[in-house]
Amino acid sequence: MGNKVSIGLLGLGVVGTGVIKIIKDHQEKLVHQLGSDVQVKSALVRSLDKERDVSLEGTLLTTNPDDILNDPEIDIIVEVMGGIDQTREYILKAFSTKKHVVSANKDLVALHGPELQEAARKNKCDFYYEASVAGGIPILRGITEGLSSDRITKIMGIVNGTTNYILTKMDKEGLSYDVALKQAQELGFAEADPTADVEGLDAARKMAILARLAFSMDVDLEDVKVKGISNISLDDLKYANKLGYTMKLIGNADFKDDKIEVDVQPTMLAKNHPLASVNDEFNAVYVYGDAVGETMFYGPGAGSLPTATAITSDVVSVIKNMLLGVTGSQHLDPHFDKQLKTADKRFGQYYVRLHVKDEVGVFSRISALFNDLNISFKRILQNPIIKDENAEIIVVTHQTSLENFQTALNQLKDLDAVIETKSYYKVEGDAEK
Amino acid sequence: MGNKVSIGLLGLGVVGTGVIKIIKDHQEKLVHQLGSDVQVKSALVRSLDKERDVSLEGTLLTTNPDDILNDPEIDIIVEVMGGIDQTREYILKAFSTKKHVVSANKDLVALHGPELQEAARKNKCDFYYEASVAGGIPILRGITEGLSSDRITKIMGIVNGTTNYILTKMDKEGLSYDVALKQAQELGFAEADPTADVEGLDAARKMAILARLAFSMDVDLEDVKVKGISNISLDDLKYANKLGYTMKLIGNADFKDDKIEVDVQPTMLAKNHPLASVNDEFNAVYVYGDAVGETMFYGPGAGSLPTATAITSDVVSVIKNMLLGVTGSQHLDPHFDKQLKTADKRFGQYYVRLHVKDEVGVFSRISALFNDLNISFKRILQNPIIKDENAEIIVVTHQTSLENFQTALNQLKDLDAVIETKSYYKVEGDAEK
């Protein structure tokens, strides 16, 4: 590598231009840390003619990936092009020619992380992807290094900025879901097609990556149960507030008795929970370790410069490893065989909102149904406002198994007094009275 | 080192026993990560007979430091004995015999960090001290690795659990300072002699260490300006709340135009600031980077197991470096020469509470005094409750230099209408109306 490290960029969108900008701006600091110049030698683009928001002096643009992947002078590939199948091929090729790879691609890492890790290890290459989870927050380092000697038993994350922005606006300003989504789109916090964000898939990808690292297990994307936010009504937010909770889209990964569960779902968090005050487009990851107890990492989950910062910090780690001759050494095989919890071992508290007939004895029948399943109530709200001659009942249960809770939901359908189960959500923590 | 790494413990108090416990509990995980057994071979203690809260099987107790420092089988010294002069000597001796050192000793690192770092570097030894700042929070790694490619321009930290506990109790439960302190002492959150905590010195030590790493500058403990919490009254907390602020003991380190300021002082934080909801004995460090924007690291600031976790994670880093043959490589000379901001370059907003004579024209004289110094008001509260025929005036200023503000405080003393300046505090952020 001499006294110059050359980087090849795959992709030159907002994050790619951010990487070029940060490396240029911090050249002096990088030289101080590393003793060598760091240069983006070339970048793979779709169009050579497009106007770019950064000076490209010293960087060659090309539409041919081989110009980068076959360039023997290039030491590190930074992949910010997105996509899955073709990108996977490029990265595998990079490893085969002994190039290190830094990626921000959560879709790819969630789906093919173990395979890519293995290819990197075989070729003594580094493969880092801090930017793939929670943008500018150095959470993967926090888990793999900072808490390396602890046993992490729980991770809860607000890992999608779009949904957190929408829920914050609904909660604080009373906007409807549709209006809040539109606002998020106008501000660039949501895509034109917001499905992957609002249906929880983006968060699921990040939770798969987090769970894999935290629990040292081959967690697959399909192991993550997902429920999105598109059906949340302002009524539920109002009741959540009344009960001392805040609604957040929470990614939850839990490890107990050698078994795990990973899911993403709208969750009513007690307002005194550290995650409850994470608002707008911010992200945060709450980590519970046996010894350390509660920790939380907070910051911007996306954005050109925060993401580019995480990428450049990964590049710095790779260069340090190159200088020390220890690339490829950070990869570990998973320590544990994956075992998923079955529904009878997944425990939680639940909020349920029911529309019921306004007649005598209704509540006692509902109460008996839950009671027969050993589910007891922690809070009960009977809505004094009666709509269309129906009444509304809201309960928050104590801990119960998911299996029991699903049985309760099924039995409620058959109960004549219940007109409709309007909504149900998982509840985390104890709200202050 | 063969397939066994031997540790010598200096000190076997609550943190030392925590280290033994964690290393034993996580032996399997450590072997998986490192491929070698990790064993606490011996521990320096004051008394051989004392009952200990951990199984000491396999660990030799000694009252003679040379049994550890001269033992050629010991690879890593973990220093949890505290103290300064003698401890410094032990650590220097450890480096001279090529032992790596992990320390939790903020007093020592704040005072002699650069000297110890240099001794480590010369001997190709590692010197890690994650546990010295904010206990279980991996903040030093966050700064030096996670944000390595960013330019950190501001750190604000709640880095003392004792004072945060006391302020939380005063604020939420209306306890007086004395009662809250006593409660903290009973719960083990405060020492019998609480001076170092409540007067801000403990926080100052941590801020010196943080500023040194974040700004790559030789920050000395004496560069840190300190004001403690022992004079805070419930009145000020009440007004803070009314104005939309929460009082916290904040360590602040600021870097601008190549100049820095570092201080610790009670600060009124806007309630929407991420640090404002950090309560009880918890710690958090808020980091602002040019590119990443706002990030925050939250967790337990003290406690046997959280601190021991940070220490053990450092031990894991040292062992990885030993395996890779790259110990001593993480030390960098400071990049910048230290330049401290003078009072005319230190800017802030301030809260001032005055007792004044209850007569016509008083407010306009006070207002003119500030106005002549180019200090304008952001908020004004005139207390309707008149005590002893005096009135109370509270103002929050816009940004002004510390120099101007100090001039204002001096001039207020000479103003006949002002009976007393009851209190003044720095203000951070904009409270929501």
pLDDT tens digits, B260-279: 999 999 999 999 899 999 99
The answer on B262 and B365 residing in a single domain is no
CATH code: domain of residue A398: 3.30.70.260
Q: Contact A136/B316, CB-based, under 8 Å?
A: no
Of A145, A299, A316, the CB nearest to B294: A299
- The reply to whether residue A26 touches residue B306, judged by beta carbons under 8 angstroms, is no
Q: Is pLDDT of A215 > 60?
A: yes
Domain assignment of residue A131, yes or no: yes
Per-residue pLDDT, B158: 98
Confidence of residue B214 (pLDDT cuts 50, 70, 90): very high
pLDDT at A120 over 90: yes
The bridge status of strand A225-226 relative to strand A390-397 is unpaired
Q: Which of A289, A324, A359 delimits the end of a domain?
A: A324
From the list B297, B299, B324, the residue facing A324 with the nearest CB is B324
Residues B310 and B406 placed together within one structural domain of the fold: no
Cα B237 to Cα B231: distance, rounded to the nearest angstrom: 12
Claim to verify: residue A106 and residue A166 sit in the same structural domain: no
User: With 60 as the cut, is the pLDDT of residue A1 above it?
Assistant: no
Q: How many beta-carbon pairs under 8 angstroms link A with B?
A: 190
How far apart (Å, rounded) are the C-alpha atoms in residues B181 and B192?
10
Q: Could you report the per-residue pLDDT of A177-196, keeping only the tens digit for each?
A: 999 999 999 998 899 999 99
Note the pLDDT of residue B1: 54
Is the CB of B309 less than 8 angstroms away from the CB of A335?
A: no
> Strand pairing of B259-270 and B225-226?
parallel
- Residue among B206, B248, B341, B426 flagged as catalytic: B206
Q: What is the pLDDT of residue A147?
A: 81
Percent of chain A scored above 70 by pLDDT? 98
Domain co-membership, B117 together with B201: no
Q: Tell me, what's the pLDDT at B356? A: 92
What integer pLDDT is reported at residue A144 of this predicted model?
87
> Given pLDDT bands bounded at 50, 70 and 90, which one contains residue B27?
confident
Could you report how far apart the first and last alpha carbons of chain A are, in Å?
A: 62
B385: confidence class by pLDDT, cuts 50, 70, 90: low
- Answer whether B284's CB lies under 8 Å from B298's CB: yes
Three-state DSSP state, A53: coil
How far is CA A363 from its chain centroid? 39
Q: Which domain holds residue A116?
A: 4-135+304-324
Select the residue from A20, A128, A133, A148 to test the B interface by mutation, using most B Cβ atoms within 10 A.
A148
Q: Catalytic site residue B206?
A: yes
Partners of A308 on chain B (C-beta within 8 Å) are 291
Task: Write out pLDDT tens, residues A247-268.
Answer: 999 999 999 999 999 999 999 9
Average pLDDT of the segment spanning B413-422: 93
Cβ separation B292–A305 shorter than 8 A: yes
Residue B30: closest C-alpha in chain A: A149
Please report whether residue B334 resides in a domain.
no
Q: B150 with B291: CB under 8 angstroms? A: yes
Give the bridge partners for B270, in sequence order.
B245
What are the structure tokens assigned to B261, written together?
Answer: 């300021």
Q: Max Cα separation, chain B?
A: 84
Weakest mean pLDDT among A374-378, B187-191, B421-425: B187-191
- B294 contacts on A by Cβ (under 8 Å): 282, 298-300
Query: Nearest CA to CA, how far is A120 from chain B (Å)?
Result: 18
- Give the nearest chain B residue to A216 (CA atoms): B29
Cross-chain Cβ contact B292/A277 below 8 Å = no
B142 chain-A contacts, CB cut-off 8 A: 138, 141-142, 146, 297
Do A61 and A26 reside in the same domain of the chain? yes
Residue with tokens 């602040």: B252
Q: Are B74 and B5 in contact (CB under 8 A)?
A: no
pLDDT higher than threshold 70 for residue B408 = yes
- Do B385 and B398 lie in a common domain? yes
**Does residue B387 surpass a pLDDT of 70?**
no
Phi and psi dihedrals of B230, rounded to 5? -70, -15
CB contact under 8 A, B142 and A145: no
pLDDT at A329: 81
pLDDT value at position A246?
A: 96
Instruction: Find the mean pLDDT for residues A200-206.
Output: 97
Q: How far is it, in rounded angstroms, from Cα A64 to Cα A52? A: 19
Q: How many domains does chain A have?
A: 3
Can you tell me the ipTM of this complex?
0.87
Q: Same structural domain for residues B152 and B296?
A: yes
Which residues from B are below 8 Å from A309, CB to CB?
Answer: 147, 149-150, 289, 291-292
SS3 assignment, position B424:
strand
Could you tell me the pLDDT band of residue A236, with boundaries at 50, 70 and 90? very high
- Residue B289, in any domain of the structure: yes
- Rounded distance, CA B424 to CA A407, Å? 60
**pLDDT-above-70 percentage for chain B:** 98
Task: Report the CATH number that the domain containing residue A166 is assigned in CATH.
Answer: 3.30.360.10
The overall average pLDDT reported for chain A is: 93
Region A306-327 average pLDDT: 92
**Which are the catalytic amino acids of A?**
206
Q: Residue A433 falls within a domain, yes or no?
A: no
Spatial contact of A394 and A366, defined as CB atoms under 8 Å apart: no
Preferred mutation among B309, B314, B317, B323 to probe A, highest tally of A CBs within 10 A: B309
- pLDDT of B359-369, one tens digit each? 888 999 999 99
> Do B159 and B121 belong to one domain?
no
Q: Are residues B169 and B201 in the same domain?
A: yes
Model confidence band, residue B28 (pLDDT cutoffs 50, 70, 90): confident
